[in-house]
Chains A and B, each alone.
Chain A
Amino acid sequence: MSSKTDSTVVHADRHEEHNPNLAHHFFTMEQQHESLKLGVWLFLVTEILLFGGLFCVYAVYRNWHPDMFIAAHKFLDVKMGAINTLVLIGSSVTMALAIRSLQKNRPDQTVLLLIVTILCAFVFLVIKYFEYSHKIHLGLLPGKFFSNTEVMGSNPQLFFSAYFAMTGLHGLHIIIGMGFLSFLLYQTMNGKYSSEYYSPVEMGGLYWHLVDLIWIYLFPLLYLIG
């Protein structure tokens, strides 16, 4: 009984002084922040390995059918891919600046920068939609759905299997990222974050930069072959 009262005393005592965002199983805000960041990095590692499987599929198919890959990639629009790369890099810059504004205790700037980031993600998806509908129109589809007769080389459906799997999974990550960024925007608008506490925004940023990082490899591998 006495031990219980003791712990409540300590508990009540701590409530007097600590940041309301500090969970009781951490000693300091810094420890909490660093632990959360390690967890997010471990998650990002699983993401790298998830995409790694698809990069491996790409490597094997390209190695087996090098000429077909060169012929098939000409059906992708380099201009659209390049614009999407710039849009995504731009959104990464605004995301990094959004975190910086919170560190400087300017949540008002963070709100604007997060809105720009989400808009960039939306532009990316719109361009992707135009690309996809063009592919579907030409019958450049994965596996047995492939119906185009103009692509030279052996098994061109393999290129489009890799293309749709890689860009599709990446697009899914963009959509999930938009959801999380919208949540962060909502929270920032409600004054939940400041220079005192902005860990969730920094974690959202890490995820968003990884999505950008994966696209940095997808773009040359799919759009700029030989």
Chain B
Amino acid sequence: MTEHEATTPAHSASFHPHITPLKVYILVGATLFLLTGVTVWVAQFHLGTVGNLIVAMTVATIKATLVALFFMHLLYDNKLYLVVFLSALLFLSIFISMTMMDTMRRDDLFRYEEMPAAIGTSLTLEEPTSPEEAAATDKTGSEPAETPANP
């Protein structure tokens, strides 16, 4: 740092970056190694598909947070970079959760077969329980459902 100040010309003299202590890097590295061991070890136990997924993702997120805060300097840097990074995660979570809401619940629509007035005809046609029943729902369901759908 003394050398830095001595040779620095006038207008770059204000540039003093934060230098992370060596101890911090070693500790973070050791924690990351340890957590890798933990996640492999925990995976041997069967906590149910969702349980294992939650544990694995929690450990991965702790590791990712350590990498982002210390190795990528987000803890010490201008918080603008943190906002940029978190905004990406926000939009990624919107993207994935919207997709999952669709693909996970798509089949549930067929439960509304019992309420023909609330739903369009195309759905009852896709999965008819029996030809007569389908024809019945078609007749009763099509007209009231069609009118609100296409005003």
Contact = CB atoms under 8 A, between A and B. Distances in A.
B88 A48 contact: yes
Given A105-B3, A195-B3, A226-B52, A96 B71 contact: yes
A189 interface: no
Given A18-B12, A96-B20, A96-B25, A59 B67 contact: no
A217 B64 contact: yes
Interface residues of A, number: 58
B12 A29 contact: yes
Interface string A30-68: 100110011001101100110010011001100110100
Contacts of A66: 49
Nearest to B31: A89
Interface of A: 17-19, 22, 27-30, 33-34, 37-38, 41-42, 44-45, 48-49, 52, 55-56, 59-60, 63-64, 66, 70, 78, 82, 85-86, 89-90, 92-93, 95-97, 100, 103-105, 195-196, 205-206, 209-210, 212-213, 216-217, 219-221, 224-226
B110 interface: no
B100 A216 contact: no
Interface string B25-39: 110110011001001
A198 B84 CA distance: 23
Contacts, number: 152
A114 to B, nearest CB: 15
Given A17-B10, A225-B52, A89 B36 contact: yes
Interface residues of B, number: 58
Contacts of A219: 36, 39, 60
A97 B49 contact: no
A45 to B, nearest CB: 4
B59 A220 contact: yes
Interface stretch (B89-97, B122-130, B134-142): B89-97
B75 interface: no
B147 interface: no
B111 interface: no
A42 to B, nearest CB: 6
Contacts of A41: 81, 84-85
B87 A93 contact: no
B56 to A, nearest CB: 4
B139 to A, nearest CB: 34
Contacts of A90: 29
A100 B18 CA distance: 10
A78 B84 CA distance: 34
Nearest to A96: B71
A49 B17 CA distance: 29
